[in-house]
Structure 1
Amino acid sequence: MRRLGIVVPLALLTSLVVASPGHADPGPPKKAVARGTGGAVTSVDPYATRIGLKVLREGGNATDAAIATAAALGVTEPFSSGIGGGGYFVHYSAKTGKVQTIDGRETAPAAMEHDAFINPQTGKPYNFSPQLVTSGVSVGVPGTLATWQRALDRWGTRSLGRSLKPATALARHGFTVDDTFRGQVQQNEKRFKAFTSTRDLYYAGGHAPRVGSTFHNPDLARTYRLIAQRGPKALYRGRLADEIVDAVQDPPTVRHPHLPVPVGSMVARDLRRYRALDQAPTRIGYRGLDVYGMAPSSSGGSTVGEALNILERYDLSSLPKADALHLYLEASALAFADRNAYVGDPSQVDVPLADLLSDDYAAERACQISGGSTMDKPVDAGDVTSYDGVCGDGGSASTNTIENENTQTTNLTVVDKWGNVVEYTLTIEQTGGSGIVVPGRGFLLNNELTDFSAEYDADDPNRIEPLKRPRSSMSPTIVLKDGAPYVAVGSPGGATIITTVLQILVDRLDLGMSLPEAIAAPRATQQNSAEDLAEPAFVRRYGDALEALGHQVETYEDIFTGTHEIGAATGIELRKDGSLVAAAEPKRRGGGSAMVVTPK
């Protein structure tokens, strides 16, 4: 079993400090699992989780706590999230019993051209990393702040200004740097040092922050205060909007950058016209449960939903684990083939969502799966115009594509004492986004437009178009049982988000694992390619048995970070007795943080 992918080596270890030494609140210890009542919060970061929990204890609801947690992640997890990015917000209302969502995905500028990713000197696409991602052309119009305001307007009880106060104090007073934060700065050394504003924030003195030192971001604190005073219009209009546009059109590079840094076409009107969109969720039935997810522009809800519909044809709980995993991988390949062929921004692409989530369609797709051997991959997409649930000929052109979607996003899950639930996935895409800190503002801009296909094809649903939202794999998911919330789960991980959430659901709902066990279990991802890519522990445990069924199981390696980890999930289970089980990663991304209002 060989390793696939290109290792991106960490920068050489340094010992000097960008942040001031000591004196920051060290934060609570990370605890991956918490059980109790009264509400719960789980995220990748203990500072953020603690802030969200304090909101719950003060009487705020799940949306209030989620926005406060997300704002704190913009301080302590700035390389994965922040107001320079976007995301998807899924909400269950205990009052109405409804699941509703907000699409806060970034959009392409109105002037973006079909060949925006093509190097005019060579006529070929820019090298994806670090050249294309480190650019103004990769920056989409941010949607995170609009999402926060829209969520608070619909379901919150607090103002945006009040929700930002804890994160503002955290940015001003500082937090203690851990291995993950320092490592992500070092991974981005070449990119961050290409911009004066980014270098000055993360490489003051020429070196990354030392583990255990205190990192302050006073510029971000001032930016949060400005937004608290003026609301989202502070970012989408006025001076800050102009500064974002300037950073995109004329990136603040050092005198002789080692990277080309292509410039973008965003203008102030692109920011003014941005809206976070209210959207109906996807919904499928699975073994008597209702599974809700994110509809396009995300491909998460449709792809997870289609794969579950395929898997519902099998009694996974009665099978040996390797056989059940075989079916999980095969269903993933079929669903990814359809994702690549049909899913894009529904404002500009006719997405056959009802067909993709049809039980008859899933039954016909499942005909290709054999319990004793693997399919030849990549498999063809199905024919959504003609199906009846009966096995036979079918299929259209092969639709395997190379995914550029980056792995470093973040996810949070919140439940309050009333039973409201929030599952929220947010991102700036690449670890460190575009690499561009808006000068004097303390936050990184995204590189989300690299989620578009690099080369224009009129038949590609994810082709570049002006004002379009690039296809995402973010898959925040809420599962209801008898009409009440049962499990909420989500993860970062680029295109592996889909398979991470799917595998967690299969492990929890079918294979007898607890939610913490399902989140901690070793993972594999299948995205309609010849190989199944898996974490080393998965390869050791199941590789031989799966290869006996014809699988090519290879060790996954993140080409951006050199790690072998897939995803970094959070989730909460609501139990019949009213108690909660909040879970985060025990080890991936340095481990996450789960807390409950009243611990057992």
Structure 2
Amino acid sequence: MACAPESQACSGAPAPQQSRSTPLSVAAEKIPRHHARCSPPRKTRFVTPFSHTIHRPLLALVLALSPLAAPASDESRHPEPATAAVTKVLVRAQRHMVAAAHPLAAQAGLAVLRQGGSAVDAGIAMQLVLNLVEPQSSGIGGGGFLLHWQAADRRLSVIDGRETAPAAAREDRFVPEGRALPFRAAMNSGLSVGTPGLLRALEMAHRQHGRLPWAALFAPAVALAEEGFAVSPRLHALIAATPALAEQPSAAAYFLDGEGRPWPVGHRLRNPALAEVLRRVAAGGADAFYRGDIADDIVAAVRAHPRPGDLAAADLAGYRALQRPPLCGNYRGYRLCGPPPPTSGPLAVLQMLGMLEPQPMARLAPDSVQAVHYFAEAGRLAYADRERYVADPDFVAVPVAGLLAADYLATRAALISPRRSMGRALPGLPAGAQMAPGEDATAAQPSTSHLVAVDGEGNALSMTTTIEAAFGSKIFVRGFLLNNQLTDFSLLPRDAEGRPIANRVQPGKRPRSAMAPMVVFRGEQPYLLIGSPGGSAIINYVAKTLVGVLDWGLDVQQAIALPNMGSRNRQTELEHGSALVPLADGLRSLGHTVNVGDQPSGLHGILIDESGLSGGADPRREGVALGD
């Protein structure tokens, strides 16, 4: 079982000497050995009547937890709001740990680790369960970014499983008759569906770092899909808030009852169609998804939509996950790493921290006007650069080195006044910018999921996955949802001055993302794994948590629970109901336009220090950290 949670804060980060940001590297990182603290896997006997095609010991362990899958409940009770906060406390462990966005997913990951599985094995099992129990956020119909630390050879690697635009895609796909489609019309359509990348990414990760058989990792999700799981308050509330599901017959038949109402909280929801898909992928690898009748059904569903898309069987058959070098930089003596473009997340986070390093963040209270002011101003500058320059590097020359150069960040930081907000920031002109692309103002939706894992050998995984908006395109095929990831491209291919936008649609291109799975190193050791869902606000959520740990000395749970704040180069955003709301007038006196609203992050993190492992889960969602 999980170790007992503790309410006491861990010691927090030390105060290493401060250093100015140095140019940040995109070279493959090789960092000295992480000395694992572990004990041999427990030996447990299991008995199960289920098929031999699924790993028996792991399936039995999952079934031992099955009373949690569909507890008795009053199905008529009202759900909690989707963003209702629940107090969560720091969880400690010594041997291995996971954190994920749903208890059943975390239990599956812990079961894998107890069977001697690797961090990647645990991540795969958790992701497959999340596809079932948190379908609004991620799944095999979408994509993601995976960051992995291999302790034995001290190597950090990135796998890019981002979706791609179909080969038939044109840059004006969202601009019929010269006018952009309304965003929701573009999102809820076949036009929005990109080639899913998640299973190819997971398969690549397993080939490189897996320890248990591939098929064994599907056992928890298959068992839960067949036996059923309890509809959670969050899932119920999000179904109720998404009327577009009713417009898609397959989705409506699964998510709604015979009266067209969302299934009530506690209803046992079964998904035999997904179980069958997962069994086939477990037996045949990702090819079972990307070729053959499953792929044909995906293409047919996209093309049958009233606003059809152009995804083809050749797009699925030809999809490849990519290995990319991590993007790394320094902040206050720590080394911070994440995936490079086409995600803008770690790049923007590192820019923000580089601009915050000269500011007195460590001396400011987290709930002070000045702390929010500095954080929001750094965000304005980073988001301005993001919207101008970041896109798929295989199509656009992204000036990454210039955006992270110490002299450039110092120049940008000098624009931050302690007494007055700059309002709307303009993008800078970093070294290496080869063109003046138009500004992209595409909206982003707060969905997605993040999970973390550390195994008994010190290997670590930080992975963010998504289908983009809540319930993606709403197109439901064989028990899973398809993404609407192509609306992460700019809907307009050119700006008002006729300049091409870097993040415009092009065939085979990967849309820009804000996903920011990150690993922080303290000296030779991985120190913190962190990431979040939340659309373009992911950047602010992750940066806030990093400041909480590295500047304010909070433990990972305290830092995750800090009120969300920041600016995406528009209004300054404060989390509704938080301790920051009373700061609104003070911020307005500095020239901020303030918006108070929900900030539904889903941060999950693990901190590794001398006392062992400590995990945190976002109180705004239903996730948990578990470990031994």
Code of the residue aligned with 1:428 in structure 2: it is I
1:436 pairs with 2:475: yes
Q: Take 2:359 and 2:234, find their aligned partners in 1: how far apart are those partners?
A: 40
Q: What is the CA RMSD across the aligned residues, in angstroms?
A: 2.1
Q: Any unmatched runs of 5+ in structure 2?
A: 1-65, 73-85
Which residue, 431, 443, 463 being the options, matches 1:404? 443
Change (3 A) 1:232 1:42: same
**Aligned counterpart in structure 2 of residue 199 of structure 1, from 252, 263, 269:** 252
Are the counterparts in 2 of residues 91 and 99 from structure 1 also a CA contact under 8 Å?
A: yes
Change (3 A) 1:350 1:401: closer
Residue 549 of structure 2: aligned partner: 508
Cα deviation, residue 528, structure 1: 1.2
Task: State the Cα distance separating 1:512 from its structure 2 match.
Answer: 2.7
Matched, 1:133 2:187: yes
* Counterpart secondary structure, 2:463: strand
Pairing 1:85-104 to 2, within 5 Å after superposition: 85-104=142-161
The match for 1:75 among 107, 112, 132 is: 132
CA shift, 1:539, in A, is 4.0
TM-score by length of structure 2 reads 0.83
Q: 1:27 to 1:522 in 2, by over 3 A?
A: farther
* Structure 2: distance between partners of 1:278 and 1:64: 18
2:377 is matched with which residue?
Answer: 330
Per the TM alignment, residue 287 of structure 1 is displaced from its structure 2 partner at its CA by 1.0
Superposition misfits of 4+ residues, deviation over 4 angstroms: 27-32, 396-401
1:381 aligned onto 2:427? yes
Equivalent position amino acid for 1:414 in 2: A
Contact between 2:70 and 2:230, CA under 8 Å: does it hold in 1? yes
Distance 1:118 1:383 in 2: 29
Spell out, residue by residue over 1:128-180, the C-alpha distance to the aligned partner (whole angstroms, 9 max, x if none).
Answer: 11x22111110000001001101101111123211111111111111111111
- Match of residue 17 from structure 2: none
- 1:460 and 2:507 aligned: no
Residue 238 of structure 1 pairs with residue 285 of structure 2? no
Contact kept, 8 Å, 1:524 with 1:566, in 2: the verdict is: no
Q: Which residue of 246, 271, 278 corresponds with 2:323? A: 278
Matched letter for residue 195 of structure 1:
Q
Tell me by how many angstroms 1:554 deviates: 1.3
- 1:15-34 C-alpha deviation (Å, 9 max, x unpaired): xxxxxxx9873479996531
Structure 1 CA distance for aligned equivalents of residues 436 and 369 of structure 2: 30
**Cα offset, 1:402, TM superposition:** 3.0
- In 1, distance between residues paired with 2:198 and 2:602? 20
| Match in the other structure for 1:425 | 464
Q: Does 1:585 align with 2:608?
A: no
Aligned match for 2:106, one of 40, 49, 70: 49
- Match of residue 526 from structure 1: 567
Structure 1 pair 544/398, CA: closer, same or farther in 2 (3 Å)?
farther
Instruction: Give the drift of 1:459.
Output: 2.6
| 1:349 counterpart residue number | 396
Of 552, 565, 574 in structure 1, the residue corresponding to residue 608 of structure 2 is 574
How many Å separate the matches in 2 of 1:224 and 1:53? Answer: 20
**Whole-Å Cα distance in 2 between the matches of residues 243 and 468 of structure 1?**
23
Give the counterpart letter for 1:215 in structure 2: L
Distance in 2 separating the partners of 1:374 and 1:200? 50
Report the CA distance shift for 1:214/1:355 in structure 2 as closer, same or farther (over 3 A): same
Distance 1:426 1:581 in 2: 23
How far 1:323 sits from its partner (Å)?
Answer: 1.7
Distance 2:594 2:579 in 1: 9
The AA in structure 2 aligned to 1:576 is E
Asked if the contact 1:106/1:143 (under 8 Å) is kept, the reply is yes
Is 1:226 matched up with 2:257?
no
Q: CA deviation at 1:530?
A: 4.5
Is 1:144 the counterpart of 2:198? The answer is yes
Q: Aligned equivalents of 1:114 and 1:552: distance in 2?
A: 34
1:595 maps to 2:626: yes
TM-score, normalised with respect to structure 1: 0.87
Q: Give the drift of 1:385.
A: 2.9
Structure 1 residues 233 and 514, CA gap change in structure 2 (3 angstroms): same
Aligned-pair identity (%): 38
Query: Partner residue of 2:592?
Result: 551
Contact 1:24–1:174 (Cα < 8 Å) also in 2: no
The residue number in structure 2 matching 1:450 is 487
Given that 1:97 and 1:483 are in contact with CA atoms closer than 8 Å, whether structure 2 keeps it comes out as: no
Give the SS at the match of 1:431: coil
Distance 1:30 1:119 in 2: 48
Distance 1:69 1:32 in 2: 21
Whether 2:218 is the aligned partner of 1:164: answer yes
Task: Judge conservation of contact 1:337–1:398 (CA < 8 Å) in 2.
Answer: no
Letter in 2 for 1:565: Q
Question: What's the counterpart of residue 512 of structure 2?
Answer: 471
Query: Do the aligned partners of residues 309 and 222 (structure 1) sit closer, same or farther apart at CA in structure 2, a change above 3 Å counting?
Result: same
Per the alignment, do residues 386 and 476 of structure 1 end up closer, same or farther by CA in structure 2, a change over 3 Å counting? closer
Q: Which stretch has the larger CA shift, 304-313 or 275-284?
A: 304-313
Equivalent residues of 1:177, 1:211 under 8 A apart: yes
**Structure 1 match to 2:313:** 268
Q: Select between 25-34 and 324-333 the one with higher mean Cα deviation.
A: 25-34
CA–CA distance in 2 between the matches of 1:54 and 1:23?
A: 15
Please report how far the alpha carbon of residue 521 of structure 1 lies from its aligned counterpart in structure 2 after TM superposition.
Answer: 1.2
| Alpha-carbon spacing, 1:273–1:263, altered in 2? closer, same or farther (3 Å) | same
In the TM superposition, residue 308 of structure 1 has moved relative to its aligned partner by 1.0
Worse-matched range after superposition: 52-61 or 200-209: 200-209
**Separation in structure 2 between the aligned mates of residue 323 and residue 594 of structure 1, nearest angstrom:** 32
Residue 310 of structure 1 aligns to a residue whose secondary structure is: helix
Q: Deviations over 1:345-398 (max 9, x none)?
A: 001000111111111211111111111221131x111111389xxxxxxxx989
**Does residue 490 in structure 1 map to residue 550 in structure 2?**
no
Matched residue SS, 1:313: coil
State the aligned residue count.
542
Please say if residues 445 and 536 of structure 2, whose CA atoms lie closer than 8 Å, have aligned partners that are also in contact.
yes
Q: Does the C-alpha gap of structure 1 residues 148 and 358 become closer, same or farther in structure 2, counting only changes over 3 Å?
A: same
Q: Structure 1 CA distance, aligned partners of 2:95 and 2:127?
A: 20
2:353 maps to which residue?
308
Distance of aligned partners of 1:166 and 1:532 in 2 relative to their CA distance in 1, 3 Å threshold: closer
Summarize deviations over 1:250-299 as a string: whole Å, max 9, x none.
Answer: 13xxxxxxxxx411011111011101110111100111110001100100
Aligned partner letter, 1:124: R
Corresponding residue for residue 10 of structure 1: none
Q: 3-state DSSP class of the match of 1:185?
A: helix
Residues 297 and 398 (structure 1), Cα distance of their counterparts in 2 relative to 1, 3 Å cut: closer
Tell me how far apart the structure 2 counterparts of residues 176 and 134 of structure 1 sit (CA, whole Å): 27
Equivalent residue, structure 1, for 2:92:
35
Structure 2 equivalent of residue 175 of structure 1 = 229
Q: Alpha-carbon deviation of 1:208?
A: 1.6
Distance 1:548 1:174, change over 3 A: same
Cα offset for 1:307?
A: 1.1
Which residue in 1 is equivalent to 2:9?
none
What is the CA-CA distance between 1:311 and the residue it aligns to? 1.2
